Amino acid sequence: MTAKPSELHVGIIGCGWLGSALAKELQRNNNHVIVTTTTMTKQPKLTQLGLQNELLTLPDDKAKLSAFNIFKQHQLVICIPPQLKHGQKNYIDKIKLLVSAANQGSVKRLILISTTAVYRGLTGKVNENSILNLGDEKVQALVLAEQALNNFKGESAIIRFAGLVGEDRHPGNFLARKTQLINGDAPVNIIHQHDAVGIIMSLLININTATSHFSRQKTTIFNGVSCTHPSRKSFYQQAAKSLQLTQPQFDDSKALTESKIICAKKIQDKLNYQFVYPDLLAWLTLNKY
């Protein structure tokens, strides 16, 4: 069957909380989407949702990657968590394997979902051009994974997402586990799931607009973060209020020196992206649970 001019053919490596939301959005707009999961028991549920899926486990499946249909899609989104704080040691190798498989397949555009944890150790206002703290082992691992995309033969982009929240990931739930907090005056860097999906969709859909910001010589990097930055104290106090929880207490004697505001200007200027939830403090105020 000949594809419609507007139809996208997208593969999503990793169908977790963000990947599944992206897949559903693509599906709602009648695009062709295929996803992967590392869990066999999750496949029937994905099939019930009408999502074509494949079981992909790295590095176990590296010898047969070329046989996977996901690498036959025009665009590929790598949406696997680094899990560095949980002792993950092979994240860099996984990204390199996926880039190699994309090169051998039919992928024309590759998008890596990364994290603003790459800015660990920085203070003040930071953007995509900030000098990173490569002396930090975790920062170095994230950078090496991102740099693997420079070996992709097509167009590539990286989206560094801040902390993700949403209707089913309410920040107040964090307080159920920890009510004593520090660094109350520090700005919060977060983004709503709806906007995270929207930013990825902007890169996937707006071919003519986005292509001018892609380069075959260098991977384009964007920060995915809300454009307002309330203090931790005001944000988590409102989060507790919206869930009718006990107000969190902040210990100012243990304030951290690391405090940063991650800039979202590039994603707004280059892709003309308009946030649905630009002010997440307002989102918490309006949404009572």
Residue 1's pLDDT band, with cuts at 50, 70 and 90, is: very low
What's the confidence (pLDDT) of residue 86? 63
Going from the C-alpha of 145 to that of each of 79, 103, 113, 122, the distances in angstroms are 13, 16, 11, 20
pLDDT of residue 257: 63
Tokens 């496949």 belong to: 43
On the question of pLDDT at 103 being above 90, the answer is yes
Q: For position 102, what pLDDT does the model report? A: 96
Which pLDDT tens digit goes with each residue over 5-54?
468 999 999 999 999 999 999 999 999 999 999 999 999 999 998 999 99
From the CB of residue 87, how many other CB atoms can be counted at a distance below 10 Å? 6
User: Is the sign of the CA dihedral 228, 229, 230, 235 positive or negative?
Assistant: positive
Q: What is the pLDDT of residue 213?
A: 55
Task: State residue 110's pLDDT score.
Answer: 95
pLDDT of 289: 52
* φ, ψ (nearest 5 deg) of residue 89: -110, -15
Q: pLDDT grade, residue 70 (50/70/90)?
A: very high
Higher pLDDT, 201 or 254: 201
Structure tokens at 133: 């703290």
| Strand ranges inside the chain, DSSP E | 9-13, 32-37, 52-55, 75-78, 109-115, 124-126, 155-161, 163-165, 180-181, 190-192, 220-224, 249-250, 260-262
Residues in Cβ contact with 47 at an 8 Å cutoff, skipping those fewer than 6 apart: 53
Average of per-residue pLDDT across 111-136 = 95
Whole-angstrom distance, CA of residue 186 vs CA of residue 199: 26
Asked whether residue 255 carries a pLDDT value surpassing 80, the answer given is: no
pLDDT computed for residue 217 by the predictor:
52
Dihedral angle of Cα 228, 190, 116, 129, to the nearest 10 degrees: -10
- Ordered structural domains, the chain, with CATH: 9-170+189-229+259-279 (3.40.50.720)
Residue 119 burial (CB count, 10 A): 23
pLDDT above 80 for 144: yes
- State the average pLDDT over residues 245-272: 85
Of residues 215 and 125, more confidently modeled: 125
Tokens standing for 176? 């159920």
pTM over 0.85: yes
